[in-house]
Amino acid sequence: CCEQRGQLRFPKPWRAQRSSVDRIMLRRVITDAARRAAGSSSTADSVAARWVSSALCATSGEGASSMIRQPSSLATWVRHKHGRLNSKGSRPIGVPVAPTPYFGNMIVERLPMVMPPPEPWEAEYQQWSDERRRKFLKKLPEGLVNPKAEFEERDQGEDFEPAPRETEADKTGNQRTMHRRLDEFLFLVVQEAQTGQWGFPRREHVEGETMREVARQAMEEAVGDSIETYLVGNAPLGHFYEAKTGADGKEGGQGTNFYHRAQWLDGTLKLESRYKDYKWLTKEELGAHFNEEHHEFIKAIC
């Protein structure tokens, strides 16, 4: 069944038998209606009540009145019947609340500056495509194809040489500059002055703040206004629970980390006093500062 203009419309085979629809059919209509609205209590109550009223008008059969329930109890009954949501309709049953404290992390990224080199299969396909296209080309008079050739030969100038893909930072292994790995994404990690621990700029959540504000303030506490960035979206990229600091030093303290993303636009990075060092790393290089599970999670959301 479907709702059109606030009324319940039955398929044609049902319309001829609307007067004899029994309690089982009405139960299905009510259950489907409340299931659609089970995302929130208020929505479930209003939508379920409207559909129940429409179903009673459409059926007008005996025993229908015995199926009437108060909207709030009806919505609760459907949620517990299907076992999908809790009584508030905000979270699936059995899914635990994210452990506190909460931390906002800002992933500052530098976008690739050059196109990555083609894969071997791409280069092979391009070569085959060019050879096939040349077979069908018609040879035209040289004067028609390139009428300015005579003048261009007189003033060719210096030959153009593209800049190399491998920069000086790539050769020396300098990770404190963005001018490296030009065909890959780079991500900013910073080292805290007190603990010496590496990670993304982060800050603990305070009641009343949105996680986006926490992540933005964490970035400002790390780099101030030295760089211009663009914050991507309002919702976190994901969250990851972090256990207490281990012997390897690759854990950042107990709590749940929420991650937001910002793209570098302009400026030269300068650290604030809370941090003492920084690096621009690729996805794979981040594994040196995060444990294996955390690293896999970061690669999945970046």
Convert the pLDDT of each residue in 234-280 to its tens digit: 999 999 988 765 444 444 557 899 999 999 999 999 999 999 999 99
CATH number for position 220: 3.90.79.10
Which domain range does residue 262 map to?
102-113+169-301
Residue 18 placed within a domain: no
Is residue 175, in this structure, part of any structural domain at all?
A: yes
CA–CA gap between residue 175 and residue 191 (Å, rounded): 13
- The answer to whether position 228 is within a domain reads yes
In this prediction, residue 43 carries a pLDDT of 53
Q: Which two tokens stand for residue 15?
A: 């319309």
**Residue 86 within a domain:** no
User: Alpha helices, DSSP H only, in 103-227?
Assistant: 120-135, 142-145, 149-154, 168-172, 211-223
3-state secondary structure of 129: helix
The pLDDT value given to residue 76: 55
Tokens 């059919």 identify what position?
25
CA 218 → CA 87, 202, 237, 241, 286, distances in Å?
A: 36, 5, 16, 18, 19
Overall domain count for the chain: 1
Position 202 in a domain: yes
pLDDT tens column, 39-96: 554 555 555 555 555 555 554 444 444 444 444 455 555 555 555 555 455 556 666 7
Residue scoring higher pLDDT (155 or 285): 285
Q: What's the confidence (pLDDT) of residue 136?
A: 87
Identity at 259, one-letter amino acid code: Y
Report d(CA 287, CA 299) in Å as an integer. 9
- In this prediction, residues 168-172 reach a mean pLDDT of 93
3-state SS record for 57-96: HHHCCCCCHHHCCCHHHHHHHHHHHHCCECCCCCCECCCC
Question: Tokens 């906002």 belong to which residue?
Answer: 104
Beta bridge partners of 232: 261
* CA atoms of 167 and 267, how far apart (whole Å): 20
Between CA 248 and CA 293 the distance in angstroms is 14
For residue 223, being part of any structural domain is answered with yes
Within a domain: residue 76? no
